Amino acid sequence: MSHVLDDLDFAILSYLQKDGRMSFTVIADKLQVSIGTIRTRFNKLIEDGTISIIGRVDPDKVGFHAYAHIAVFVRPITLKEKVAQEIMNKPEVSFLAMTSGDYDLEVDAMCRDNDHLVKFINELAEIEGVHQTTTTMYFKVYKYAQPDLNLLKEKLLKVLRQRQAGITVVMENVQDPHNISAVMRTCDAVGIQDIYILTTKIPRHQKFGARSSSSAAKWLTVHQFEDASLCFEALRKRYDTILTTHLSADAIGLYEVDFTTSVALVFGNEHSGVSEEVRALADGNFIIPQMGIIQSLNISVACAVSIYEAYRQKQAAGHYTEPSLPAHQMEQLLNEWGFEEGEATV
């Protein structure tokens, strides 16, 4: 199974796309990591099939002058996989894919000349299940390339410009790592960059439930604290108002919270909720309106409802149209996400 690629993997791939012969020493120097780290990552990328180092030839210059696209119609359709396996084993095939269009398989073939191409097409017709083929000759190829990883960088830049500095989530003594991961995923979805995890009564979390987060954790800045006072000291430096989810006489409704200001929302333990210590440090409490009997939501659901209200207000106020994070934080995140200095403009 392929491992989840991180920023360092993408950076290594980008350099190897530019020059497949680039040495580990040069890559390590550019990325400011050890040569051993590059070697280990490279071997892992090779082992799981993410990359292969080959010598790419110019087909025309080495004698392949008949390059064609062949649409293959398969009948009965149940033979599609069998036909694909047979076609895949033919040496002339440079590309083979199953399609959703009018035909079933798409084949690119490189042949020496037209006679060779005709012979190849006749061989395809003899395969059981090949009902019909349609051939298009390529007279001139203008571009043949690997996927440009910069397209991924464009998406990351767009995401970074929409990250919101004025909203954060604090999770106090949340026990289940899958709940934390679900919250992380929602935070990423609405553009929250910084989240805080406070563990005063449970062990410090070493990892989170990857299945729930879909690797969201690697795109967030996670601040972990074991002391409530230190956590709130850090929060006060960045957020004007700190509210906890707690049912009290003075609690305000979620929809009364002004999320166009700088706000930190605190969610407590799955069973005991937010502690008295943390409630005393906060500015107030808020509740999510509910019409049922139980009057309780899972923490990940409560968080999702709350921060999507924050998203709604911020969207209406135009907060997503201009970068919100401080310039120094954006530069740091660009570096952490695999951008080389000077490659992208915040």
Per-residue confidence (pLDDT) for residue 208, from 0 to 100: 64
Average pLDDT of span 147-173: 89
pTM greater than the 0.85 cutoff: no
Contacts of 118 (CB under 8 A, 6+ apart): none
Domain ranges of the chain: 7-47, 66-138, 162-321
Q: State whether the Cα torsion 128-130-132-133 is positive or negative.
A: negative
Fold of 7-47: Arc Repressor Mutant, subunit A (1.10.10)
249 pLDDT exceeds 90? Answer: no
Fold of 66-138: Alpha-Beta Plaits (3.30.70)
Whole-angstrom distance, CA of residue 138 vs CA of residue 84: 22
Give the model's confidence band at 281: pLDDT under 50 very low, under 70 low, under 90 confident, else very high. very high
215 pLDDT exceeds 70? Answer: no
325 pLDDT exceeds 80? Answer: yes
Q: How many residues does the chain have?
A: 346
* CATH of the domain spanning 162-321: 3.40.1280.10
What digits encode the pLDDT tens for the residues 98-129? Answer: 999 899 999 999 999 999 999 999 999 999 99
Per-residue confidence (pLDDT) for residue 243, from 0 to 100: 98
Average pLDDT value over all residues in the chain: 90
What digits encode the pLDDT tens for the residues 220-243? Answer: 999 999 999 999 999 999 999 999
Per-residue confidence (pLDDT) for residue 344, from 0 to 100: 46
192 backbone dihedrals φ, ψ, rounded to 5°: -85, 125
